[in-house]
């Protein structure tokens, strides 16, 4: 697929050099730890929100963490189905990632 993503995060130390992309119909979360890219169709996205680091109250993310997300402000993606419904990850600009992701969600 040669589509241009709506958003592409920069590879950073906090994301362990991984890249996260938003397309009009899906999210792609590259994961070196899981050895593949997680593709989440937009109709499987239940919620996406910015979360604080674990050092602040309510910052702990339950579910799969594909980078150092508990150590910094991060994004928590909740899916409607699948093996693990909560995925935490750290794009370079969490607020911007969530803002753009909300524009592709059905009913938005």
Q: Would you state the pLDDT for residue 71? A: 85
Q: CB neighbours (10 Å) of residue 47?
A: 14
Residue 64: strand pairing partners: 87
- pLDDT higher than threshold 90 for residue 50: yes
Q: Given pLDDT bands bounded at 50, 70 and 90, which one contains residue 97?
A: very high
Question: What residues contact 39, with CB distance under 8 A and at least 6 apart?
Answer: 26, 27, 28, 29
Q: Model's pTM, two decimal places?
A: 0.86
Mean pLDDT for 51-57 is 77
Q: Given pLDDT bands bounded at 50, 70 and 90, which one contains residue 2?
A: low
Query: Which residue ranges make up each domain of the chain?
Result: 7-104
Q: Would you state the pLDDT for residue 56? A: 66
Token output for 55: 């050092």
Q: Percent of the chain scored above 70 by pLDDT?
A: 90
Round to whole Å and give the CA distance between 103 and 108: 6
- pLDDT higher than threshold 60 for residue 92: yes
Round to whole Å and give the CA distance between 60 and 102: 22
CATH code assigned to 7-104? 2.30.29
Length of the chain: 108
Nearest Cα neighbor of 89 from 74, 73, 71 is 74
Helix (H) and strand (E) counts for the chain?
1, 8
Task: Name which of 55-59, 94-98, 100-104 the model is least confident about.
Answer: 55-59
């Amino acid at each position: 697929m040669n589509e241009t993503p709506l958003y592409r995060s920069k590879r950073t130390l906090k994301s362990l050099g991984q890249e996260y992309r938003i397309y009009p119909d899906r999210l792609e979360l590259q994961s070196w730890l899981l050895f593949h890219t997680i593709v989440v169709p937009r109709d499987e996205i239940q919620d996406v929100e910015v979360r604080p680091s674990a050092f602040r109250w309510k910052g702990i993310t339950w579910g799969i963490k594909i980078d150092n997300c508990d150590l910094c402000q991060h994004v928590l993606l909740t899916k409607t189905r699948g093996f693990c419904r909560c995925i935490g990850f750290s794009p370079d600009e969490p607020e911007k990632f969530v803002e753009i992701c909300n524009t592709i969600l059905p009913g938005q």
